[in-house]
Amino acid sequence: MGRRPSEPGTVEGETMPEGKTMRWNLPDTELPTTWFNVVPLLPEPIGPPLHPATRQPLGPDDLAPLFPMALIAQEMTTEPTVEIPGEVLDVLRLWRPTPLVRATRLEKALGTPARIYYKDESVSPAGSHKPNTAVPQAFYNKAEGVARLTTETGAGQWGSALSFACAFYGLECKVYMVRASYEQKPYRRVLMETWGGSVVPSPVDEPGHPGSLGAAISDAVRDAVGRPDSHYSLGSVLNHVLLHQTVIGQEAKAQLAMAGEERPDVVIGCCGGGSNLGGITLPFVTDPRVRLLAVEPASCPTLTAGRYEYDFGDSAGYAPMLLMYTLGHDFVPPSIHAGGLRYHGDSPIISALVRSGRMQAVAYPQSKTFEAAITWARTQGTVPAPETGHAIRAVIDEALAAKEEGAERVILFNYSGHGLLDLSAYDAYLRGQLVD
């Protein structure tokens, strides 16, 4: 448990005294200059990716049709840190470091002695944490002469981020968007097009199918391997993606210290493929006093009800096989609004942490997460993404448990994205039309 802070940010009694700080901004000169690699520190090793046809461990050459060599090296590295190129820092600096904010109004509404901090990743141009990896991925591809990237997207957060990054490096961007989200969220398509990306619904050859992340990955991989000018880009799951996201947790550590907190008692993130969760939790893995909590949808309960085994990363079996918790690569999750959490598998790193007991996982039905999101909007003011609503649900339950126990507790979570392009989901919830 963190000590009670005497710095700005303290709430004395019931009311927030005037003039107290609730946000901690790092100067942009304090942006981390290295990524944090958790792989050599994991409690048990992760399995190597296997070739989908031969089921033999993959070498760098096997991945070369999909990824640039720099990213393949990062996927396999066991170095403790990886340097962030200056050209990448220059773009990240458009919105990073992101603020650390204390949710004092939510605390007060809940009547909890817990102190709730969140890292606000919604401030990026694309509205989520996703550009943290889209930018270096576009950079390394450009540096190796690639002209075009293909990718999949669920709710559209990742496709938006990659379209944004490609605009900055002069790359073409083709996005295969899960059809359920394509139809629920037309503004996401327009956002990608505003940055110059092109978007089609997936699966491309089954027009009536609601789609899944697994199927959209198949579409994007097939496109990339079929064109010599193209590579494929993945927005979650892989080691190098989680590596890029560790700027979040590194900044949060520095900002918690500014806020006078020694450490969080628990760090919480929602989990689809695991990238925002990894981004905020991995820098805390080595401190056993810090609990780590993954939050997933009850309708796609990979970590809480999946099997730990090798499975394909996509539904058609084009992508490498990964050792992970999985619901089966042919699992098609219901069309919940948190499209970014509709993935049958999970990051091998996150899976290994859950397998070893270092990280816990919990699942919620979507109505409970929208209830939490509305509470957030009416106390803290901002409208979270449905994915982020899952993290907020768990945060509220942790804060209420702290109240029940009469215990102080420092809760840190990742506010992974805003919900301004997900308002049709809020409309459904407010009209009572949302099903679990």
Query: In the stretch 182-211, what mask flags binding to its own copies with x, by CB under 8 A?
Result: ----xx--xx-xxxx---------------
Min dist. Cβ of residue 19 to its own copies (A): 6
Kindly tell me which residue out of 6, 13, 14, 27 binds its own copies, with binding defined by CB under 8 A: 27
What letter would DSSP give residue 242? H
Contacts of 418 (CB under 8 A, 6+ apart): 122, 127, 128, 382, 383, 384, 385, 388
CB of 415 to its own copies, least distance (A): 12
Nearest to 270 by CA among 225, 302, 309: 302
If one asks whether residue 111 binds its own copies (CB under 8 A), the answer comes out as no
Q: Does 123 bind its own copies (CB under 8 A)?
A: yes
Query: How far is 264 from 290, CA to CA, in rounded Å?
Result: 6
Euclidean distance between CA atoms 123 and 115, whole angstroms: 22
**In the complex, least distance from residue 309 CB atom to its own copies, rounded to whole angstroms:** 40
Using CB under 8 A as the binding rule, whether residue 29 contacts its own copies is answered as yes
Q: Per CB under 8 A, does 433 bind its own copies?
A: no
| Cα 61 from Cα 75, distance rounded (Å) | 13
233 binds its own copies (CB under 8 A): no
Give the relative orientation of helices 386-405 and 366-379 as an angle to the nearest 10 degrees.
80
Tell me the per-residue interface mask from 238 to 267 with its own copies, x by CB under 8 A, - otherwise: ------------------------------
Distance CA(311)–CA(326), nearest Å, equals 7
Nearer to its own copies, 296 or 422 (CB): 422
Helix-then-strand count for the chain, H and E: 17, 15
For its own copies, the binding residue among 149, 341, 383, 402 (CB under 8 A) is 383
- CA–CA gap between residue 267 and residue 118 (Å, rounded): 10
Q: Which residue from 1, 41, 64, 423 is in contact with its own copies, where contact means CB under 8 A?
A: 423
Return the number of the residue (413 or 426) whose C-beta is nearest its own copies: 426
> What are the residues whose beta carbons fall under 8 Å from the beta carbon of 429, sequence distance 6 or more?
367, 370, 374
Which of 21, 81, 360, 375 contacts its own copies by CB under 8 A?
21
- CA torsion sign for 160, 103, 265, 252 is positive
User: Residue numbers of the site for its own copies (CB under 8 A)?
Assistant: 8, 16, 18-19, 21-23, 25, 27-29, 86, 89-90, 93-95, 105, 123, 125, 127, 164, 167-168, 186-187, 190-191, 193-196, 374, 377-378, 380-383, 420-421, 423-424, 426-427, 430
